């Protein structure tokens, strides 16, 4: 087909960087998981996504711009960061409050900080 | 912002966790004070509970309060007469007659989950007017949302939202509580506030519902413990 691009062409293809005023404003929510025992990132990811999809539905979650940031998960301190847009911070925090189990482990989410940048979360 | 959770059940009142576990978790989550709620048996039980609560207060360094929850009209009338001997009087909502009686009684501090096990919201505009007049706080119970799921949770959320809308219209006080029966059911105050904003409260109103209103109730407790206090609205000069 004429419009079928080769792999090398596809790799070169990139979106232009949006103007700051056109970009979605992001918020980062840093949380701590208080639990009966240590928990794995995979359990956290599955539980959070399932809960949000159950609670807000697919359309609702699409409006949150929700993303769990894997490389900011601190297994030792059981802290993590979730990203969302600035208009849905309250929805995301409320949703995290509804998570009561990660697998078979009972948990409580404690919100540590909400910031517009990862740097603002003061991660060490 | 000083946050309080004025509805927590321990192993003494049908819960799963000890007073220590509950107080420690509440402190860890950032609460300044917590009210342990019990069911009244006799004066001896009350003395034991008061001693326990004082011990927890000293050990864990968190403000603790003693609350009794009335489960029927008889119990409500009895506890209203003994009002001066404990801190907070709660009424277990769910029954229409009891919901109405609670709203009409000025001795009552909190009407807990008025929509409990109901298909409707459990409160009408008349109850809300009485609640506003008598300063009876209508509870938004997070535990109910937490322990239910799917269709039941949707109904509960709808009914809580309906009560919040009515309470706002008639200026009845709204309070956020966990209603936890285990320390794993306690929630971060931020999460409670955010949930309240999803159900119809503004952010400021939600913050007031977890900090300012409980503080007002605590002030009333202090006032009530003074010798001059006789009953709501009546005190010796």
CATH (domain of B186): 3.20.20.140
> What's the pLDDT tens digit per position in B102-116?
999 999 999 999 999
Compute the distance between CA of residue B14 and CA of residue B47 in angstroms, rounded to an integer. Answer: 19
What class is the A25-118 domain?
alpha beta
Answer yes or no: is pLDDT of B26 > 70: yes
- Which residue carries 């007049």 as its tokens? B133
pLDDT at B19: 94
**Does any CB of chain A come closer than 8 Å to the CB of residue B186?**
yes
Residue B231 lies in a domain: no
At B70, the pLDDT band (50, 70, 90 cuts) reads very high
pLDDT at B105: 94
| Contact assessment for residue A115 and residue A27, using Cβ atoms and an 8 Å cutoff | yes
- Checking ipTM against 0.85, whether it exceeds it is yes
Structural domain boundaries enclosing B155: 3-224
Average pLDDT, rounded, for chain A = 90
Residue B141 lies in a domain: yes
Total tally of structural domains belonging to chain B: 1
Residue A34 with chain B: CB contacts under 8 Å: 25, 28-29
Answer yes or no: is pLDDT of B5 > 90: yes
Q: Which residues of A65-102 are buried (b: 16+ CB within 10 A; e: fewer)?
A: bbeeeeebbeeeebbbbbbbbeebbbbbbbbbbbbbeb
Of B149, B184, B194, which is closest to A108 when you measure between CB atoms?
Answer: B184
Secondary structure (3-state) at B9: strand
Percentage of chain A modeled with pLDDT above 90: 81
| Contact assessment for residue B121 and residue B159, using Cβ atoms and an 8 Å cutoff | yes
pLDDT at B28: 95
At A5, the pLDDT band (50, 70, 90 cuts) reads low
Average pLDDT, rounded, for chain B = 93
**Residues A22-40, mean pLDDT to the nearest whole number:** 94
> What's the pLDDT tens digit per position in B123-181?
999 999 999 999 999 999 999 999 998 899 999 999 999 999 999 999 999 999 999 99
**Does any CB of chain A come closer than 8 Å to the CB of residue B204?**
no
At B56, the pLDDT band (50, 70, 90 cuts) reads very high
Of A34, A93, A106, which is closest to B191 when you measure between CB atoms?
Answer: A93
**Does any CB of chain A come closer than 8 Å to the CB of residue B191?**
yes
pLDDT at B237: 74
pLDDT at A124: 57
**Does any CB of chain A come closer than 8 Å to the CB of residue B195?**
yes
Residue B232 lies in a domain: no
pLDDT at A4: 58
**Residues B23-42, mean pLDDT to the nearest whole number:** 95
Q: Which DSSP string do the residues of A36-47 spell out, in sequence order? A: SS---HHHHHHH
Cβ–Cβ gap B191/A94 under 8 Å: yes
CA distance A82 to chain B (A): 14
Cβ–Cβ gap A109/B197 under 8 Å: no
What predicted TM-score, i.e. pTM, was given to this entire model? 0.92
Cβ–Cβ gap B188/A91 under 8 Å: no
Cβ–Cβ gap A90/B184 under 8 Å: no
Compute the distance between CA of residue B112 and CA of residue B59 in angstroms, rounded to an integer. Answer: 29
| Contact assessment for residue A27 and residue A116, using Cβ atoms and an 8 Å cutoff | yes
Cβ–Cβ gap A108/B188 under 8 Å: yes
Residue B185 with chain A: CB contacts under 8 Å: 100
């Amino acid at each position: 087909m004429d419009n079928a691009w080769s792999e090398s062409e596809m790799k070169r293809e990139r979106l232009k960087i949006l103007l700051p005023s056109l970009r979605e404003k992001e918020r980062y929510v840093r949380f701590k998981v208080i639990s009966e025992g240590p928990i794995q990132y995979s359990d956290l990811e599955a539980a959070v996504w399932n809960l949000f999809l159950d609670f807000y539905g697919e359309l609702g979650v699409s409006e949150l711009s929700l993303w769990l940031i894997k490389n900011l998960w601190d297994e030792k301190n059981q802290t993590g960061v979730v990203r969302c847009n600035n208009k849905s911070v309250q929805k995301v925090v409320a949703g995290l409050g509804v998570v009561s189990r990660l697998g078979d482990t009972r948990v409580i989410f404690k919100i540590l900080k909400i910031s517009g940048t990862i740097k603002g979360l003061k991660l060490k | 912002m000083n946050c309080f959770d004025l509805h927590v059940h321990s192993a003494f009142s049908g819960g799963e966790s000890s007073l220590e576990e509950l107080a420690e978790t509440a402190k860890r989550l950032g609460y300044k004070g917590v009210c342990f709620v019990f069911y009244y048996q006799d004066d001896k039980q009350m003395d034991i509970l008061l001693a326990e609560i004082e011990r927890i207060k000293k050990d864990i360094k968190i403000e603790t309060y003693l609350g009794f929850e009335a489960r029927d009209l008889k119990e409500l009338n009895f506890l209203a007469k003994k009002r001066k001997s404990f801190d907070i009087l709660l009424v277990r909502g769910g029954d229409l007659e009891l919901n109405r009686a609670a709203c009409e009684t000025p001795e009552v501090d909190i009407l807990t989950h008025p929509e409990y096990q109901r298909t409707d919201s459990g409160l009408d505009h008349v109850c809300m007017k009485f609640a506003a007049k008598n300063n009876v706080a209508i509870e938004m119970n997070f535990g109910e949302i937490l322990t239910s799921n799917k269709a039941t949770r949707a109904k509960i959320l709808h009914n809580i939202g309906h009560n919040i809308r009515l309470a706002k219209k008639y200026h009845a006080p709204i309070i956020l509580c966990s209603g936890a029966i285990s320390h794993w059911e306690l929630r971060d105050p931020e999460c409670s506030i955010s949930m309240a904003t999803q159900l119809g409260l503004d952010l400021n109103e939600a913050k007031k519902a977890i900090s300012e209103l409980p503080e007002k109730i605590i002030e009333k407790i202090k006032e009530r413990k003074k010798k001059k206090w006789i009953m709501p609205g009546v005190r010796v000069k």
